[in-house]
Amino acid sequence: MIHHVMGNDGTYPLLIALWLLPLLGAILCWGFGPWLKARAGWLASALVGASFVLAVLSWGAGTQSVGGTLGAHQSLLSWIPGFDFGLLLDPLALLWVFVITGVGALIHLYSIGYMDGDAAFARFFAYMNFFVFAMLTLVLSDNFVGLLIGWGLVGLASYFLIGFWFFKPSAVAAARKAFVLNVVGDVGIMFAIFLIVANVHSIGFGDAFAAAGSYATPTLFLICLGLFVGAAAKSAQVPLHTWLPDAMEGPTPVSALIHAATMVTAGVYLIARCAPLWSVNADAQMLVGTIGGLTALLGAILGCAQWDIKRILAYSTMSQIGYMIMGVGVGAYEGGVAHFFTHAFFKAQLFLGSGLIIHALANEQDIRRMGGLAKKLPYAFVVMLVGVLAICGTPGFSAFFSKDMIIYGTLQHGHPWLYAVGILTAGLTAYYMLRLLFVTFLGSYRGAVDPSDLGIRHPELAGLPSDGDPAPQDATAHHHAPAWIMNLPVGILIVPSIFAGWLMFGGANSPWAHFFAGQFPVPNVVVPPISEGATSAIVFACVLVGAAVAAARYASKGALADAVARLRSESVRMPALLSNRFYFDAAIDALCVRSAQLAGTFFGRVADPHVIDGTVREAAISARWMGTLMRSLQTGLLRAYALILVFGAACFIVYYALAGGR
Amino acid sequence: MRLRGDVNVLAPIAILLPLVAGALLFVLPDDPRLGKIYGTLVAFATLVVVLLARHADWSVRWLARPFTAAFHVGPTPIGWWLALLLGLCTLCAVAATNLPRQRSFVAQLLLLEGTMIGLFFARDLLLFAFFWDAMLIPVFFVLLGWGSHPATAWRYFIYNFAGGLLLLFATAAFGVIYGSTDVIGQSGAPLIGAWAPWIFAGFALAFLVKTPVWPLHTWMPATYADAPSPLVAVVSAVQSKAGLYGFLVIGLAYLPTYVARFAPELVVLGAISLLYGATVALVQPDTKRVVAYSSLSHLGLIAIAIATRNPLALQGALVYIVAHGLFSTALFLILGYVEEREGTRSLIRLGGLGHANPRLTGAFTIAALAALGLPGLAGFVGEIVILSGVYQAGWTWAVIVALIAIVLASAYMLRLLQDAMNGPVVDDLPVRRDLTWIEGLAVAPLLIALLAIGIQPHAIMAAIAGAVR
């Protein structure tokens, strides 16, 4: 049995506390919810905050490098004989822990205001804390099975929180869809684990990566493929992405924490963690890079065709994760991970900002029924403006640095097509995000306009109040939490949304590069014909074009004056391909869901009763046809048959009993 | 009669205690409360005796001709785990019982427990075959007395008795050729000769009917749907494992070459069961039939594991046998609660129960998650260890089939859970009160065990690794 540890051998018990504090919160909020009442929110936030403090204290341990191994390690227990569990904190895990607990604590705080008055307030925080615990399990595990357990548990937390309002049929359906599609990912990882265990007889990262060079190439590709199926399902990559837009049925803070900042980036983490495997298999890199690029582009295109504010953000999340996957897929690990870091801030901010709007407009989510909100909700406008500027990659804002690292990285690693896709997607991103901003905040308020004049044909499908978050409606009956409790966390997020990218400034001498020194395999890069500065300029030019188109369509004087008619005509004339989301849902439904149901119906209604059971009863049925002679036998057939059996067995036993007695 | 020390006598006591106590219950006054309290105490005492009887071994001569046989009882390592599972499941099932003619029902449950402990404690093949048939009788009478269709009872009996008869013939032939049936759990030489394949066929068919494996399963959904939930819980959790136990202690121990020769056929049947059961469970409207078909699917996986004879797969199979016993007991008991409350098992009619029943929903959720193999619960441990072994044995296609079935399992288990508990409140369903303390306590040990094995499977895996050797 190989015993290879990633992270310096030794103990670091602080990790256990860091990991288990949110679980403690979940148990307390779940067990003592009725007694804790509103205090549940503060307790849950405080425990996640405490984990964050411990993470900061662990900076030194996580980044230490002794004898070529990075980070700290803590053994936990023997899972099954020969396979051990432990916790590993290295720079990669530390980065995720920072975001999970830091952004997580802010979103917990925000939720105290957002969920105020909900009948299941404590249950909400129990699930949220459980999610944080599960996500920490995922990123702190030092082996594949521990990672898979975390992987499954975050899926469970996501299921609970998407279906939090379990009396809404749409939320229930969305929760089930998300869970089942994520299980597709789980079994992909399971398959990879079988291959790894068969090859190295260990589940530890250290053993699996130490042997990276010794796998047969097809085996290694299959391992990477299995892992990537997991990553694709969790990170909403084509064609397993269809659950993410539906997941917006959950409360908005859930969308911010789970379906934007943390859980959906687990696929990026997995590939970055398994960089030693990917960097020696060009086919796997090609596959993951291509799927990532495709997802970035498709997400951006679909983002242009949505009207629900949260669904626009959901498609934008899908698109941005496509960037990250493309980055870590082609080998630009630091870039892909950097974009995770900046995205966590600005996307959480955008979601929480949209939550401010939804909260203020009594659960309206359709941007066609907004408009002119810049004056009504100036704080939300500032928040959303900074978020939009950040995501578009405006120079100086965070995504400018991280996105360029990925786009330039694709060229460095020899993928010019992905480079083009990255640039094009940047332009589309500017277009649909500014469309969101302009339609929501400029012009005049359209909340009183008849929905059909805006082209809303199915109000029940378009995110009208009946379909929105029901929590704040309850809140009006009770007291309101102070406004600062929602405004403060969003305000804090503005700072890293703008400045986090500066950590990546300076190429090989940047703080970012120093932080990750020794973490990732050093790839062979080519010196591309286009310099990094030129790339930034091209991307920014593309962003300006997208912004100009959006401004012409939604922010020009004519457009604002004629907003109602224009929105109506855009809704009505939406190409079927876009309004059906490229038919992915329909295809999965027809190929997988319907066919399995059809098979089940056939087996259950035809094969079981008539074919298999029918053969058994054939004697009785043929007897009926053969007339009176057999009819008498048939009436008592079952009984007679059983009697013969009993009698025969009795004779048999008696005979041997007597024979033995002699 | 020769006794070997004090502990050894616990083996026959473990068998006789529930049998005698169960028979005695028929002559006690017909009071539902008395029946339940008495039954719970007896089931608890039996569980304790089984726990203590781990190393018991007790034997009395029975036959000398035409082959030697003995009343030889004492658990094999695997049999002890199964008897322990049976003791726990029976205790929970008795505690959860709430039926008309409760006293007689509890008595039948105790008789069932006694005969099945006899099966898992039998060290003699003839005794094994005797208990194999004896354990059909209580189930048959419950199906006749409490089920809605007598035909179901007869179908159960005929299928299983036909299997039992094959087992008896195979046992007799085994005894005549081998010279002794006092063989279970002993390291005897494998059976050889021209008759061996036929004997294997007899055993295998009996075991496959009992498990059941496709296409011998059609008695099972009707039985599980028709019988009262506490009985179904025990039958699905433990009686269905009797065939798998037989494969382990007889098939692998005395006819290993034939298990190996017929491995492809067994794996194919297991794989068909996996997918067939899962797809049918996806569309069944009857809650208990959903779990019945899911059992067909799950037990198909264990059949595959045994057929591959890979040590890792066998260890996983034992963990999964225990896990499946725990979660199927919990699921059937909970579905029984739902049926008692709402008077229906139809997923089309049920819905929105979560509003008034948060505790019931919580228990149901844990059981359903364990059944769909959520990482961190016991079912997952069994699945991943089994499939890891099956992959190492070279059956990659069977692994892929099983992975597809895992995805399907998440779909049908969530359908079962959500269609019953989530969604808007259904107006024409009666609103009942949430789980009572007794009802909660009856399922709590099962859920705690699922969680404990899921979090720390080392202990059970280490114990089982010894049993498989």
Judge if B304 and B330 occupy the same domain.
yes
pLDDT tens-place string over residues A144-203: 999 999 999 999 999 999 999 988 889 999 999 999 999 999 999 999 999 999 999 889
Judge if B23 and B154 occupy the same domain.
yes
Judge if B114 and B150 occupy the same domain.
yes
For residue B368, give both structure tokens.
């359903």
**Res. A631: pLDDT tops 80:** no
Binning pLDDT at 50, 70 and 90, where does residue A481 land?
A: low
Binning pLDDT at 50, 70 and 90, where does residue A513 land?
A: confident
Judge if B221 and B288 occupy the same domain.
no
3-state secondary structure of B262: coil
Size of the A and B interface in Cβ pairs below 8 Å: 163
CA distance A510 to chain B (A): 39
Residue A652: predicted pLDDT: 60
H helix runs in B309-349, sequence order: 311-342
Query: Is B71 in CB contact (< 8 Å) with chain A?
Result: no
Tell which of B233, B255, B277 closes a domain: B255
Query: Is A280 in CB contact (< 8 Å) with chain B?
Result: no
Query: Is A591 in CB contact (< 8 Å) with chain B?
Result: no
**Res. A459: pLDDT tops 80:** no
Judge if B236 and B165 occupy the same domain.
yes
Cα–Cα distance measured from residue A69 to residue A5, given in angstroms and rounded to the nearest whole number:
9
Residue among B161, B281, B352 minimizing CB distance to A645: B161
Judge if B383 and B240 occupy the same domain.
no
Q: Do A163 and B388 touch (CB under 8 A)?
A: no
pLDDT tens-place string over residues A338-373: 999 999 999 999 999 999 998 888 888 888 888 888
Residue A362: predicted pLDDT: 83
Binning pLDDT at 50, 70 and 90, where does residue A562 land?
A: confident
Long-range contacts of A376-381 (CB under 8 A, 24+ apart): A376/A445, A379/A487, A380/A353, A380/A356, A381/A441
Judge if B332 and B463 occupy the same domain.
yes
Residue A178: predicted pLDDT: 94
Residue A613: predicted pLDDT: 74
The overall longest dimension of chain A from CA atoms, in Å, is 112
Residue among B165, B415, B458 minimizing CB distance to A77: B458
Binning pLDDT at 50, 70 and 90, where does residue A64 land?
A: confident
Q: How many domains does chain B have?
A: 2
Residue A643: predicted pLDDT: 58
φ, ψ (nearest 5 deg) of residue A582: 60, 20
Q: Is residue A385 classed exposed, middle or buried when 0-12, 13-18 and 19+ CB atoms within 10 A define those classes?
A: middle
Tell which of B255, B290, B318 closes a domain: B255
CA distance B64 to chain A (A): 5
Tell which of B206, B226, B255 closes a domain: B255
Residue A524: predicted pLDDT: 76
Contacts of A186 in chain B (CB under 8 A): 375, 406
Q: Do B385 and A186 touch (CB under 8 A)?
A: no
pLDDT tens-place string over residues A39-63: 899 999 999 999 999 999 999 888 8
Angle among Cα B96, B135, B221 to the nearest 5 degrees reads 65
Judge if B465 and B337 occupy the same domain.
yes
Q: Which amino acid is at B395?
A: W
Q: Do A151 and B375 touch (CB under 8 A)?
A: yes
Residue A247: predicted pLDDT: 92
Cα–Cα distance measured from residue A245 to residue B233, given in angstroms and rounded to the nearest whole number:
40
Residue B151: predicted pLDDT: 83
Other C-beta atoms lying within 10 Å of the C-beta of residue B141: 18
Find the residue in B nearest to A123 (Cα).
B358
For residue A633, give both structure tokens.
């036998």
CB A126 within 8 A of CB A36: no
Residue A292: predicted pLDDT: 95
**CA-atom Rg of chain A in angstroms:** 29
For residue A334, give both structure tokens.
């630091």
Judge if B238 and B335 occupy the same domain.
no
Contacts of A616 in chain B (CB under 8 A): 218
Residue A78: predicted pLDDT: 86
Residues 620-659 of A with CB under 8 A from B: 638-639, 641-642, 645-646, 648-649, 652-653, 656-657, 659
Query: Is A176 in CB contact (< 8 Å) with chain B?
Result: yes
Bridge partners (DSSP) of residue A80 are A83
Residues 6+ apart with CB under 8 A from A403: A323, A339, A393, A422, A426, A539
Residue B448: predicted pLDDT: 95
Judge if B245 and B286 occupy the same domain.
no
pTM exceeds 0.80 for this model: yes
Judge if B76 and B210 occupy the same domain.
yes
Contacts of A138 in chain B (CB under 8 A): none
Range of the structural domain that residue B328 is part of: 262-469
CB A259 within 8 A of CB A247: yes
Cα–Cα distance measured from residue B28 to residue A233, given in angstroms and rounded to the nearest whole number:
60
Residues 302-341 of B with CB under 8 A from A: none
Judge if B131 and B266 occupy the same domain.
no
**Res. A115: pLDDT tops 60:** yes
Residue B159: predicted pLDDT: 86
Residue among B161, B283, B376 minimizing CB distance to A601: B283
Contacts of A149 in chain B (CB under 8 A): 375-376, 380
Residue among A78, A603, A660 minimizing CB distance to B64: A660
Residue among B284, B388, B422 minimizing CB distance to A194: B388
pLDDT tens-place string over residues A263-290: 999 999 999 999 999 989 889 999 999 9
CA distance A183 to chain B (A): 6
Q: Do B66 and A659 touch (CB under 8 A)?
A: yes
Q: Is residue B429 classed exposed, middle or buried when 0-12, 13-18 and 19+ CB atoms within 10 A define those classes?
A: middle
Residue among B279, B387, B458 minimizing CB distance to A190: B387
Q: Consecutive sets of 10 residues in chain B, 469 residues long: mean pLDDT of each? A: 65 92 88 89 95 88 82 90 94 92 92 94 92 92 88 86 89 88 85 88 92 88 91 93 92 90 93 94 92 94 93 91 95 92 87 87 94 93 94 94 95 93 84 84 94 89 72
Q: Which amino acid is at A249?
A: E
Binning pLDDT at 50, 70 and 90, where does residue A616 land?
A: low
φ, ψ (nearest 5 deg) of residue A124: -60, -45
Exposure pattern of B340-372 as b/e (b: 16+ CB <10 Å)? ebbeebebeebbbbbbbbeebbbbbbbbbbbbb
Residue among A179, A642, A648 minimizing CB distance to B158: A642
